[in-house]
């Protein structure tokens, strides 16, 4: 009698395999903070240490799953179905594969009609073919050879085949790829599932590892909220937290990508804008625009000609050799003057194309430069982690916990460079008609970029002295304070920038004015000056305090003209005159102490330029205190 491979002897080895060295996950082609806490005392800054060194870490809007994490989830899911339905782990695995790893769908189908659920998954309760009771030889219907009962095997359907044919059949299926997980009985009309038990009997160790990898891979690719990290050589998966505001996720391999489109992270622009921008950069359309903007067609042969010398006398190349004037495109023979204006639609079209090309070049250059800086910062971070951290620890004689702020600063620089690059793509597609939004965008972008440059400069240059010579503890503490503060402030700048852009710069309406019918204006923009000073000695924490003098009216320092209708009037007004918010340009009543639109206020911090409520005495961005 042919043996039916229904035992669970291989289950524990398959679902609880801890030999990660022999397992390699193969990805298919179509697979899917706290700010540093600053001590207010005189003895320095308390920097928060890393919460854990474990690889299973949750990063804001996602959970990064290592190979061990994925295997554990697979094991737990199979064990749950096996326990609840009183099935072997092999049968539970087959059911889960059939229902795309949905435990709820498995339970619903099972308890609605157990027999039907069995049959749909290919788990037959009774064999379809009864094996002969006599102990004689049996015919294998693949190779048509006779074998003893010990030389024949069958799956749950009862169709017997020889061991050699089973081995060849399973080996061929595993070699064809992940579809081997849905392998059926070799009989042409049979739908019985061939599970892990049969693979364990007839596959080699290498083939078992492949099958196991396909099994684990199917768990990730069947889960709508989980995707493989597309980073080169990375075998981690990312489990997205439903309801998160941002699709940008980061893996443990340091690769950041958009969970929605699996392309590189592109916050704050959406996937459609990113795709459009990348297509634009790689298309030949800009070459056409260049030709249109910076060349003119020969009046005779119509070939485009670029002016590369000073005079206007142009000669076309062979075989045309037509001579003409660059300015009026008339023949050079008999040409006199062409200084009289005559309206020419083609000239207007050429100037428009030239202006468009200059705009594109402006934004593309800055997008590309920041991406290059981001990649350089990533290389610098790797160098810091592999070399400089250990050098500083050795030279300055400090622990790893005391130096983690350097790594955090470089990670922030990389993220900010990425965001800043994509803000230039955002700016390119921002409509020119809405000047108020463009002004606000450029102001927020400029503030964020300035903060990033200060942070990048500090991390890049001010660490160098600590790599060479032993410096005093106070010098290192001051450096740590400065870099940690710049990291936090820069993070806040970019958080505000991203929030504003993702909200469509809603603080300014499309018309460029506030909802109040009167034209808003900046009051006293030059009537109040705020100065900074450092307090405390080098042994205490240096906090920037602002000495400010309040005039009779609130004033806006360093705020841009957010509206085409806002006049930069520097005349001092009365106490009850309206004032415009430094952040959103909304016109408020003179008696208001904070903006009724965005709940920010009328004074701008000289340390970080953040617009604060005039009712507060501490900057909400960098915690700089105010001194009346």
Q: What is the pLDDT of residue 11?
A: 54
**Residue labelled with tokens 């701008």:** 604
Antiparallel, parallel or unpaired: β 544-548 and 625-627: parallel
**Residue labelled with tokens 């023949």:** 331
Of 102-106, 121-125, 228-232, 539-543, least confident by mean pLDDT is 539-543
Instruction: Tell whether the model's pLDDT for residue 419 goes beyond 90.
Output: yes
Tokens of 339: 């200084």
Instruction: Tell whether the model's pLDDT for residue 99 goes beyond 80.
Output: yes
Mean pLDDT of 511-537: 35
Mean pLDDT of 21-29: 39
pLDDT digits (tens, 9 = 90+) for 557-597: 344 444 443 333 333 333 456 766 655 556 677 666 666 66
Antiparallel, parallel or unpaired: β 58-59 and 62-65: antiparallel
Tokens of 475: 């010098």
What value does the mean pLDDT of the chain take?
A: 74
Q: What is the pLDDT of residue 470?
A: 76
Q: Which residues pair with 626 in a beta bridge?
A: 546
Instruction: Tell whether the model's pLDDT for residue 35 goes beyond 70.
Output: no
- Give the max Cα distance, the chain: 115
Torsion of CA 556, 561, 566, 569, to 10 degrees: 50
Of 293-302, 484-493, 595-604, least confident by mean pLDDT is 595-604
Q: What is the C-alpha to C-alpha distance for residues 257 and 264, in angstroms, rounded to an integer?
A: 4
Higher pLDDT, 28 or 193: 193
Peptide bond into 268 cis (omega under 30): yes
pLDDT band at 284 (very low <50, low <70, confident <90, very high): low
Helix orientation angle between 103-112 and 89-98, rounded to the nearest 10 degrees:
100
Of 117-121, 140-144, 331-335, 535-539, least confident by mean pLDDT is 535-539
Whole-number CA gyration radius for the chain? 35
pLDDT band at 352 (very low <50, low <70, confident <90, very high): confident
Higher pLDDT, 438 or 4: 438
Task: Please tell me what DSSP assigns to residue 2.
Answer: P
Peptide bond into 35 cis (omega under 30): no
Q: What is the C-alpha to C-alpha distance for residues 313 and 257, in angstroms, rounded to an integer?
A: 54
Of 194-208, 380-394, 607-621, least confident by mean pLDDT is 607-621
Q: What is the pLDDT of residue 59?
A: 47
Report CA-CA distances (Å) from 265 to 338, 411, 543: 53, 14, 35
Under a CB-based contact definition with an 8 Å cutoff, are residues 402 and 391 in contact?
no
Q: What is the pLDDT of residue 486?
A: 92
Q: What is the pLDDT of residue 607?
A: 66
pLDDT band at 34 (very low <50, low <70, confident <90, very high): very low
Q: What is the pLDDT of residue 348?
A: 75
pTM greater than 0.75: no
Of 29-33, 83-87, 186-190, least confident by mean pLDDT is 29-33
Which domains are present in the chain? 3-226 (3.30.40.10), 268-297+346-506 (1.20.120.1750), 308-334 (no CATH), 509-628 (no CATH)
The percent of residues above 90 in pLDDT, for the chain, comes to: 21
Q: What is the pLDDT of residue 422?
A: 94
Q: What is the pLDDT of residue 353?
A: 77
Instruction: Tell whether the model's pLDDT for residue 539 goes beyond 70.
Output: no
pLDDT band at 343 (very low <50, low <70, confident <90, very high): low
**Distance, first Cα to last Cα, the chain:** 98
Task: Catalogue the active-site residues.
Answer: 311
Instruction: Tell whether the model's pLDDT for residue 391 goes beyond 80.
Output: yes
DSSP line for 204-238: -HHHHHHHHHHHHHHHHHH-TTEEE--STT---EE
Instruction: Tell whether the model's pLDDT for residue 267 goes beyond 50.
Output: yes
Higher pLDDT, 48 or 98: 98
Instruction: Tell whether the model's pLDDT for residue 504 goes beyond 70.
Output: yes
Instruction: Tell whether the model's pLDDT for residue 555 goes beyond 90.
Output: no
Instruction: Tell whether the model's pLDDT for residue 241 goes beyond 50.
Output: yes
The percent of residues above 70 in pLDDT, for the chain, comes to: 68
> Cβ neighbours of residue 161 under 8 Å, at least 6 residues apart?
140, 141, 142, 152, 153, 154, 169, 186
Q: What is the pLDDT of residue 17?
A: 52
Under a CB-based contact definition with an 8 Å cutoff, are residues 316 and 303 in contact?
yes
Q: What is the pLDDT of residue 418?
A: 93
Task: Please tell me what DSSP assigns to residue 387.
Answer: I
Q: What is the pLDDT of residue 448?
A: 92
Of 72-76, 468-472, 567-571, least confident by mean pLDDT is 567-571
């Amino acid at each position: 009698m042919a043996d039916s491979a229904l035992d669970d002897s291989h289950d524990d080895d398959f679902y609880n395999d801890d030999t990660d060295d022999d397992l390699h996950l193969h990805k298919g082609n179509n697979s899917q903070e706290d700010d540093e806490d600053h001590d207010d005392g005189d003895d320095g800054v308390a920097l928060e240490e890393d919460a854990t060194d474990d690889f299973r870490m949750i990063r804001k809007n996602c959970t990064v799953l290592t190979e061990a994490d994925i295997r554990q989830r697979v094991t737990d899911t199979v064990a749950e179905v096996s326990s609840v339905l009183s099935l072997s782990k092999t049968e539970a695995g087959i059911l889960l594969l059939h229902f795309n790893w949905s435990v709820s769908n498995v339970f619903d189908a099972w308890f609605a009609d157990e027999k039907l659920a069995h049959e749909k998954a290919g788990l037959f309760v009774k064999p379809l073919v009864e094996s002969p009771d006599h102990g004689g030889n049996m015919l294998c219907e693949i190779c048509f050879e006779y074998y003893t009962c010990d030389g024949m095997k069958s799956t749950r359907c009862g169709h017997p085949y020889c061991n050699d044919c089973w081995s060849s059949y399973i080996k061929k299926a595993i070699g064809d790829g992940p579809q081997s997980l849905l392998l059926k009985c070799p009989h042409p009309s049979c739908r019985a599932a061939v599970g892990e038990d049969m693979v364990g009997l007839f596959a080699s160790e290498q083939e078992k590892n492949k099958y196991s990898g396909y099994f684990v891979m199917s768990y990730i690719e069947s889960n709508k909220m989980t995707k493989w990290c597309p980073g080169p050589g990375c075998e981690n998966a990312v489990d997205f937290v439903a309801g998160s505001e941002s699709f940008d996720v980061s893996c443990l391999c340091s690769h950041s990508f958009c969970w929605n489109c699996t392309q590189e992270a592109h916050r704050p622009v959406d996937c459609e804008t990113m795709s459009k921008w990348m297509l634009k950069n790689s298309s030949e359309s800009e070459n056409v625009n260049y030709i249109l903007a910076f060349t003119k067609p020969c009046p005779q042969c119509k070939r485009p000609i670029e002016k590369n010398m000073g005079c206007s006398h142009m000669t076309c190349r062979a075989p045309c050799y037509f001579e003409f004037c660059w300015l009026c495109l008339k023949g050079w023979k008999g040409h006199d003057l062409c200084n009289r204006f005559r309206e020419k639609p083609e000239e207007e079209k050429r100037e428009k194309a030239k202006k468009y090309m200059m705009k594109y070049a402006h934004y593309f250059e800055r997008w590309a430069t920041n991406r290059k800086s981001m990649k350089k910062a990533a290389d610098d971070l790797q160098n810091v982690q592999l070399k400089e951290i250990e050098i500083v620890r050795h030279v300055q004689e400090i622990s790893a916990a005391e130096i983690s702020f350097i790594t955090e600063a470089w990670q922030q620089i990389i993220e900010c460079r990425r965001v800043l690059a994509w803000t230039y793509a955002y700016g390119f597609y921002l409509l020119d008609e809405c000047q108020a939004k463009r002004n606000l965008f450029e102001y927020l972008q400029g503030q964020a970029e300035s903060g990033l440059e200060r942070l990048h400069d500090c991390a890049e240059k001010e660490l160098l002295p600590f790599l060479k010579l032993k410096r005093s503890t106070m010098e290192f503490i001051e450096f740590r304070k400065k870099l940690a503060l710049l990291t936090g402030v820069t993070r806040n700048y970019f958080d505000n920038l991203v929030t504003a852009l993702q909200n469509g710069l809603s603080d300014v309406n499309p018309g460029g004015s506030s909802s109040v019918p009167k034209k808003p204006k900046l009051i006293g923009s030059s009537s109040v000056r705020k100065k900074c000073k450092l307090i405390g000695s080098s042994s205490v924490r240096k906090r920037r305090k602002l000495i400010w003098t309040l005039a009779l009216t609130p004033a806006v320092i360093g705020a841009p003209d957010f509206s085409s209708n806002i006049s930069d009037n520097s005349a001092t007004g009365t106490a009850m005159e309206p004032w415009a918010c430094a952040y959103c340009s909304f016109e408020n009543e003179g008696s208001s102490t904070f903006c009724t639109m965005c709940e920010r206020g009328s004074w701008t911090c000289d340390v970080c330029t953040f617009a604060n409520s005039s009712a507060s005495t501490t900057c909400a961005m960098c915690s700089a205190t105010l001194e009346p």
